[in-house]
A and B are shown apart, each in its own frame.
Chain A
Amino acid sequence: MSVVQKGADGLGRGIDDRLGSSNFVRRSLNKVFPDHWSFMLGEIALYSFIILLLTGTYLALFYTPSLSEVVYDGSYIPLKGVTMSEAYASTLHISFDVRGGLIMRQIHHWAALLFVASIAVHLMRVFFTGAFRKPREINWVIGVGLLVMAILEGFAGYSLPDDLLSGTGARIASGIMLSIPVVGSWAAFLLLGGEYPGTELLDRLYIAHVFIVPLAILGLITVHMMMIWYQKHTQFPGPGRTEHNVVGSRLYPVYAAKAGGFFFLVFGVLALLGGLAQINPVWLYGPYDASQVSAGSQPDWYIGFLDGSTRLMPNWEFYLGGYTLSLNVLLPTVVMPGLIFTAMALYPWIEAHFITKDKRAHNLLDRPRDVPTRTAIGVASLTFYIVLLIGGGNDVIASIFNISINQISWVLRILCIVGPPIAFVITKRICLSLQKSDEHLLHHGIESGTIRRLPTGEFVEETVPLPAQYRLNLTRVAGDHEAIEGGHGDPGYDLEAVGHAEAPRSKGFFRPKGVSRVDPEQAERTEVGALEPSGKPGSPPQ
């Protein structure tokens, strides 16, 4: 026995003597994670957050959250001798006089953009595959909370350098607070310490940015991951995959190697971006001054949809008996995001109660085409979001493509109202026709190209039936039969309702009436329940 092995054994025994951890460790190492590339999207967000913590800590060692005025005397010549806040001067110091400070700042900022972007991509994956369904609604809500927190965190960070751009953003934020009826001016004075800009803004944003919000994010991420661990990951349907098992690779060693390696790859991409692509060149914007602004003043991309909604909003303002109600600000910046995020958080229940009427638990994922209404809702929402996002950049688009900003604004105003319904209808039709083509494949097989002459003289093309594993992908029979009633694994389903939750709605739309997606007889023959090694009751009761 080698020394190393001896040492490891001794260490393991020592720990287990004290904690009795062998069982837990072994079960953890053997935990199975389903293998699919799209299950790694959330990891990007997690890793970006870790990178944000690492780079952010380094930056915090040099940054001073102070509005006190200093005269700049660093190595960036064009600003030498300019009076500016300590916050801005320390940001310049990080950029030009701390070795490797600029790359830290740039990696931090790129990581922030990618943190929110990867949350968005992960959220889309979870949404379109129905991974949010029972029993995972709580984790979905936590995810939505994380998205909101990430946006807030990003905004607070954007405002810290106290350059022209960040100051403009803070100014807009204070204007938004003022628009809230009755309590608006109180809220603004409370957060700023007084009338804008006040003296406390940066201190408070700083504490929010480096302590309060990251702590909240960290806490939510912990719960998010613990719930994934406890509830086990969802998986796509496939041979041998049922509602009652997890098929994939174990945490140790394959999954750990891949996931650990992926962390360094994400970090590598961010290092490359941080080194090769300039982000937020604060020295060009100059120190914040309430009377100055740059053309094309924009928020970071994740606030862009709010900027867009604010730009496209008509100028509705009402005066009620001595009070002002600024709907032109309130609706697009407070009410709309409030409604969007609330609807998003409640979506799992909305869907279960009103759309699919499916309140059972699911561990097998949907293919987007198999739930046309959900997919259509998702695409319609994305359309709305993207129209607003484009609105947030309409001035840069106008400037680059030489179009009238007013024309773009009008086109986008119309698009954000008519676009989503059109996207809804088109998406739903595409889903249904994809279903139909799947059904064709399933029932008639793949066209082989071989023409055969029948004894009657008729020519037919021979078809090859689909290989089994693809067939399981194409039919959701397995998933639907096994949806877990009340989480007990009790398949108390109604054969009539089996097959496609959406089937009744889609009849006659793209599929001939009276042909249901999966006929019961066929479903019976599948005997998917028997696939399970666990021998759980899963086959239809006869």
Chain B
Amino acid sequence: MSDNEPSIRERLASRPTDEANSGGDSRVSDVSASDFQQTHTDPSAPQEHLTGLQFAEPLGPPRELTPAESKSAERKVSALFLLSVVGVVGFVLVYAFGEETYDQPNNWLYTPLLGVFMALALFGVGAGAVLWAKLLMPHEEAVQERHDLASSAEERAATATALKEGLAQANLGRRPMLLGSLALGGGALALLPVPFLFGLGRFQNKEIKLGTTGWREGVRLIRQNGTPVRLGDLDVGAVESVFPDVDHGTKLADSPALLIRMSPEELRLEGEAAEWTYEGHVVYSSVCTHLGCPVKLYEQQTHNLFCPCHQSTFDAAHGAKVIFGPAARPLPQLAISVDEDGYFVAQGDFSEPTGPSYWERG
């Protein structure tokens, strides 16, 4: 190792001043090739033909660290490694003795403390390793040749020949029956998984399932807790999430609806839809016709129904027609009436399929 020689970097840096006299014209760098050919070889390193390496800079630190500097660097790195011990000890202590369960006081500290100590442990080792490389390992500029990725023309030709020869030996070209039957057999085999694929789903009555909900004629409107809704329970300006009073009615994903009460003169429905209401009470599906999110944000003054997922906005006073957003269809309306005990009941299923559109929907 020749310590006295200036490094390439230094020589490069000094070069421009030499050129300054030449007027600093537009000449692109003429970094001389020799800068890189005069590479430094470390006598102790393996020979070049074994490593495929050359070095553009002398091996060893950019400049020799003084013993004090070297000691200080070593101390820094060691301190970081030891920090990991602190982190792990802290982590174990918190982990073992911390109050981790939620019903105890100070639990809010448990996870943050674990995180801090864990990070300390990880940062110690990580930063130590990096700093070790940065401060104490030689800053080499190793140069390695790239090998050609493409094969030579001969090799390509030889490979092509081998492929062709194999084909010829298999006689595929001259035996069309073999080829044809292989194609058929292989194709048939490829279809074998398809039945299994179909086994993944139960497709019986697919369209009926998609097109209908749990609502039927005479089914009561119940709340999530199962209690039926009676006429007069809702004030004007109120809204209630309702479900069909059938088996698992509150769990059916296509059936949830909103019972809304407004003053009868505010409700502007036309035709049949007007008869589906009861004294200012109107029921719409709360499953968005766009992508199925619950449309439950009801503004009682504007009668807007708003979907929080994609911001489709429906006007509940006007048949839940779309007034903003990506939904294309109004929310289906459920015809309701009141039974002899004063409870709300459905007159039948929704006016049309609830939820997102699908191809066969019509």
Residues of chain A touching chain B, judged by Cβ–Cβ distance below 8 Å, are: 26-27, 30-32, 75-77, 96-97, 99-100, 102-103, 106, 135, 168, 171-172, 174-176, 178-186, 188-197, 231-232, 239-240, 243-250, 253-254, 257-258, 260-269, 271-276, 289-297, 307, 310-317, 319, 322-326, 328-329, 332, 361, 363, 394-395, 405-406, 409, 442-445, 463-469, 471-472, 475, 477, 486-489, 518, 522-523, 525-527, 530-534
Bound complex: CA A100 to CA B37 (Å): 57
Contacting residues, chain A, for B252 (C-beta < 8 A):
290
Nearest B residue (CB) for A188? B358
Any chain A CB within 8 A of the CB of B93? no
Q: Which of B13, B29, B114, B358 has the most CB of A within 10 A?
A: B29
Contacting residues, chain B, for A102 (C-beta < 8 A):
110-111
Contact A526 B28 (CB under 8 A): yes
Any chain A CB within 8 A of the CB of B251? yes
Pairs of residues from A and B, 10 with the lowest C-beta to C-beta distance, nearest first: A275-B115, A264-B126, A261-B129, A317-B328, A291-B256, A175-B356, A268-B122, A175-B291, A487-B150, A257-B133
Choose the segment among B159-167, B169-177, B273-281, B305-313 that binds chain A (4+ C-beta atoms closer than 8 Å): B305-313
| B289-330 contacts to A (CB < 8 Å) | 290-294, 296-297, 308-312, 322, 324-329
Q: Which of B13, B111, B252 has the most CB of A within 10 A?
A: B111
Contacting residues, chain A, for B127 (C-beta < 8 A):
261, 264-265
Contact B143 A174 (CB under 8 A): no
Contact A291 B52 (CB under 8 A): no
Contact A329 B133 (CB under 8 A): no
Bound complex: CA A39 to CA B18 (Å): 35
Given contacts A179-B357, A315-B322, whether A258 and B129 have CB atoms under 8 Å apart is yes
Given contacts A525-B28, A533-B37, whether A231 and B129 have CB atoms under 8 Å apart is no
Cβ-neighbour of B125 out of A30, A231, A264, A325 (below 8 A): A264
Contact A26 B119 (CB under 8 A): no
Bound complex: CA A180 to CA B102 (Å): 45
Residues 4-35 of chain B, each 1 if its beta carbon lies under 8 Å from chain A, else 0: 00001100110110011000111111110101
Any chain A CB within 8 A of the CB of B202? yes
* Interface residues on chain B, size class: 35 or more
Given contacts A324-B361, A328-B327, A471-B28, whether A271 and B115 have CB atoms under 8 Å apart is yes
Contact B202 A194 (CB under 8 A): yes
Contact B256 A468 (CB under 8 A): no
Any chain A CB within 8 A of the CB of B68? no
Contact B310 A272 (CB under 8 A): no
Q: Which of A172, A197, A518, A532 has the most CB of B within 10 A?
A: A172
Residues 40-67 of chain B, each 1 if its beta carbon lies under 8 Å from chain A, else 0: 0000001000111110100000000000
Bound complex: CA A251 to CA B190 (Å): 45
Contact B142 A326 (CB under 8 A): no
| 27 intermolecular pairs with C-beta atoms under 8 Å apart | A30-B51, A32-B142, A102-B111, A168-B309, A172-B309, A175-B355, A176-B291, A178-B359, A182-B359, A186-B203, A195-B253, A195-B254, A232-B146, A247-B142, A262-B130, A266-B126, A274-B115, A291-B241, A312-B326, A315-B312, A315-B322, A328-B327, A395-B308, A395-B311, A465-B25, A468-B16, A518-B28
Any chain A CB within 8 A of the CB of B154? no
Nearest B residue (CB) for A288? B253
Choose the segment among B181-189, B204-212, B262-270, B337-345 that binds chain A (4+ C-beta atoms closer than 8 Å): B204-212
Contacting residues, chain A, for B8 (C-beta < 8 A):
239-240
Cβ-neighbour of B293 out of A178, A231, A293, A443 (below 8 A): A293
Contact A263 B292 (CB under 8 A): no
Contact B53 A464 (CB under 8 A): no
Contacting residues, chain A, for B13 (C-beta < 8 A):
467, 469
